[in-house]
Structures are given as C-alpha cells and as structure tokens.
C-alpha cells in the first residue's frame, strides 16, 4: 500500500439488518474510541423524536437530495421506504485527509459502493442470534405497524446473504461481548503494519 493511503485515516463500515443491535454497538464503539468519528448520513425523511440534525442525520428536502444525486455528491445512496439516504464523498475525504478515522453505519448495498471507491476500508457485519430473535426484536420496537415489521423482516433476510463478503462478522448474542469484539476489530486494524508504515519509516528509517 502506498504511503499516501497509510497517511490517511481508517474507514470502518458496519452493516446489519434492522433489529440486530448495530446502532447500539456503534454508539458504544464511539464512546470507547473517541478518536473515531461518526459519518453523518443525509436523508430526505423528517426527524424522529429525539433525533438531532447534524448529529443523527443531515435532514434535507427530497428535491435537494435529488439535485445532489445528479451532481454526484454521494458515494452511495439508497431509497428505503420512500425516503432517500446517502453518504457524501467529500465529507468522507475531509475526515480521512485530516488523518482521522471514520465509522459508517450503512446497509449492504451502500457498503458495496464504499468498497468500490475506498477498497482499503474495513467491513463488519452484525448478525442477530437467530431469525426468530430478530423478529422478536423488531416487534419490541413498538412504533411500527405489523405490515412495516413484515417488510423489514423480509429485507433483513435478503441482506443476510451479503455477510460473506464482509471482513468480519459479529453475532450479537450478548451485547457486552459484541461491543468488545467491535472494539477489538478496530484496535487490531489500527495496529496493522501497512497502516503504521509511515510511522515505522519515520522512527526506524527502514528502506
């Protein structure tokens, strides 16, 4: 890998079907690793209760989102349940060029687009203990209709097929264990020789 890439920060992409516990694991990872920044996606939907613009999502109109799609601003974007979601390529590069690490919470189709443009990124898939447990967790949310739950469950089963191309898999059977595994993946990736090559060259002057 070239020195230019090793100078940059690390991208870690986390995907999971709805109800697998991905958001909770990501929040715990960010709390344990303050040097890791969270990539705030754009969406055309309205904020949910307790969501904060610029922290949870960048909330913009559908018309503005479409304009930014046309201008090629998004490295990945998707339309889910009638709403757009996307990640700004400029925002990613701004963080990486500062030497900071970036966490992206993205569904598999978007993750593939990230892999195409940022092949050095690290990809982690979070799985529920079983399909039955996943359905139970979706029902516990309590803010969606039975039809919406059925759609999310069907989509989850489709997304599960993508797990095999990810670098790492975490079974979220026990939250504390899953969080420790996620932190361990991040820490181990930061210690890879290819990511430390510039520091090694500077300190020990290895040709």
**Rg of the chain (C-alpha set):** 18
- On whether residue 105 sits in a domain, the answer given is yes
What pLDDT does residue 198 have? 83
CA dihedral of 159, 149, 128, 11, whole degrees rounded to 10: 50
- On whether residue 188 sits in a domain, the answer given is yes
What pLDDT does residue 141 have? 64
pLDDT class of 124 with cuts at 50, 70, 90: very high
Q: Is the distance from CB of 112 to CB of 125 less than 8 angstroms?
A: no
| Partners of residue 6 on adjacent β-strands | none
Which CATH number goes with the domain that contains 146?
A: 3.40.50.300
- Domain ranges, residue 193: 3-39+100-204
- On whether residue 93 sits in a domain, the answer given is no
Q: Is the distance from CB of 96 to CB of 11 less than 8 angstroms?
A: yes
Beta strands 122-127 and 11-15 are parallel
When divided into structural domains, the chain yields a total of 1
- Give the model confidence (pLDDT) of 166-176 as tens digits: 999 999 999 99
- On whether residue 162 sits in a domain, the answer given is yes
- On whether residue 56 sits in a domain, the answer given is no
- On whether residue 46 sits in a domain, the answer given is no
Q: Is the distance from CB of 8 to CB of 118 less than 8 angstroms?
A: no
- On whether residue 94 sits in a domain, the answer given is no
Which of 184, 159, 181, 183 minimizes the C-alpha distance to 170? 181
For residue 53, count other CB atoms closer than 10 A to its CB: 11
Alpha-carbon span 126 to 58, nearest angstrom:
24
Q: Is the pLDDT of residue 81 over 80?
A: no
Whole-prediction pTM: 0.82
What pLDDT does residue 207 have? 65
- On whether residue 45 sits in a domain, the answer given is no
Is 151 or 90 the better-scoring residue by pLDDT? 90
- Give the model confidence (pLDDT) of 178-204 as tens digits: 999 999 999 999 999 988 888 888 888
């Amino acid at each position: 890998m070239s020195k230019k890439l090793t100078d940059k920060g690390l991208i870690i992409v986390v995907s999971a079907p709805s109800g697998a516990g991905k958001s909770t694991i990501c929040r715990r990872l960010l709390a344990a690793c303050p040097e890791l920044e969270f990539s705030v996606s754009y969406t055309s939907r309205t904020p949910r209760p307790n969501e904060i613009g610029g922290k949870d999502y960048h909330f913009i109109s559908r018309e503005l989102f479409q304009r930014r799609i046309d201008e090629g601003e998004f490295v990945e974007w998707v339309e889910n349940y009638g709403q757009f979601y996307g990640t700004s390529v400029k925002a990613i590069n701004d963080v990486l060029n500062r030497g900071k690490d970036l966490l992206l919470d993205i569904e598999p189709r978007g993750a593939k687009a990230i892999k195409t443009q940022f092949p050095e990124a690290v990809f982690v898939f979070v799985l529920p203990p079983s399909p039955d447990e996943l359905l139970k967790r979706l029902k516990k949310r309590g803010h969606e209709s039975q039809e919406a739950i059925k759609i999310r469950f069907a989509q989850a089963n489709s997304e599960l097929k993508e797990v095999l191309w990810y670098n790492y898999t975490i079974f979220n059977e026990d939250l504390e264990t899953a969080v420790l595994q996620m932190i361990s993946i991040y820490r181990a990736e930061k210690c890879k020789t290819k990511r430390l090559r510039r520091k090694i060259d500077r300190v020990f002057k290895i040709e």
